[in-house]
Amino acid sequence: MPVSNHFTAISSKILRSSPPKTLFINQQRILSKTQVNFNLSSRNPVHNLFYNANSFQKLSIQSLPYPNYNPVKNLFTGIVEEMGEIKQLGYAEDGGFEMKISGNVVLEDVKLGDSISVNGTCLTVTEFDKKESEFSVGLAPETLRKTSLIELVPGSRVNLERALLPSTRMGGHFVQGHVDGTGEIVSLEFEGDSLWVKVKTPPEVLKFIVPKGFIAVDGTSLTVCKVFDDEECFNFMLVAYTQQNVVIPLKKVGQKVNLEVDILGKYVERLLQSGFTSNITPK
């Protein structure tokens, strides 16, 4: 049988066994579980904006009707291209939670489905308007639970970066846009025109952070200066130019930042846990 006919036969068999309309039926069933409204005029943080349409009681983010799905498709450098501004955030007509962001540089060659890093979180462009210089991205419940995006309000500034192209210069380090956890800013101190920033983070994240190593903070590629294990903290320094082009200096003590550790450290831990080194015998 020719290859093309064989492929057609297999495709037809798969479609008969799993009709595409089943996916839409299941999605509709999921979406009907919780009816939620959103007030676009509100300037409250995201976590205060979920309420039941009938009782007006706040819902926990865990009850949002969406599956967790964040495939690995793109790569970033951690070199912020521009700072955007949150214009709107809330529920779209289809029930999904969306965020509308203003931007210019990231819209130069944008297409629907492109990935843009927003404060270090890889998000998919669902709509854009170059005339209005704005684009929209969808947010999953897991994204809101695991990142600092939950603190955003209309008017908040965010770091923006497009995904890498094969021709892109690698100016920072490999950043996936998959946030490992959040940290809390515990101090901001100037030394000359440079800014020391100290961040506290849980041990499960801190174990991957090493002095002079890479870390992405709100999507910005930075070099760790010191690690304070007894305080569960680390620090880094921002030069004057960086301070003017990223959102970190705009934040206050007590606010959260997104953290993504160097992927190499996680691979090393995985190999050690798997017993890989026990199979290595000296020559």
Please tell me which residue in 42, 126, 140, 163 is annotated as part of the active site.
140
| φ, ψ (nearest 5 deg) of residue 142 | -60, -35
Residue 223 annotated in active site: yes
Residue 122 annotated in active site: yes
Residue 240 annotated in active site: no
Please tell me which residue in 34, 42, 124, 133 is annotated as part of the active site.
124
Please tell me which residue in 76, 128, 135, 236 is annotated as part of the active site.
76
Please tell me which residue in 42, 92, 163, 178 is annotated as part of the active site.
178
Contact 97, 138 (CB under 8 A): yes
| φ, ψ (nearest 5 deg) of residue 87 | -95, -45
Residue 163 annotated in active site: no
Contact 197, 188 (CB under 8 A): yes
Please tell me which residue in 122, 143, 182, 214 is annotated as part of the active site.
122
Residue 227: CB atoms within 10 A of its CB come to 16
Please tell me which residue in 8, 60, 194, 223 is annotated as part of the active site.
223
Q: For residue 260, give the 3-state DSSP assignment.
A: strand
Residue 233 annotated in active site: no
Contact 245, 220 (CB under 8 A): no
Residue 42 annotated in active site: no
Nearest to 110 by CA among 139, 77, 132, 88: 132
Please tell me which residue in 102, 115, 156, 201 is annotated as part of the active site.
115
Residue 50 annotated in active site: no
- Pairing between strand 194-200 and 121-129? unpaired
Q: Catalytic positions, please?
A: 76, 115, 122, 124, 140, 178, 223
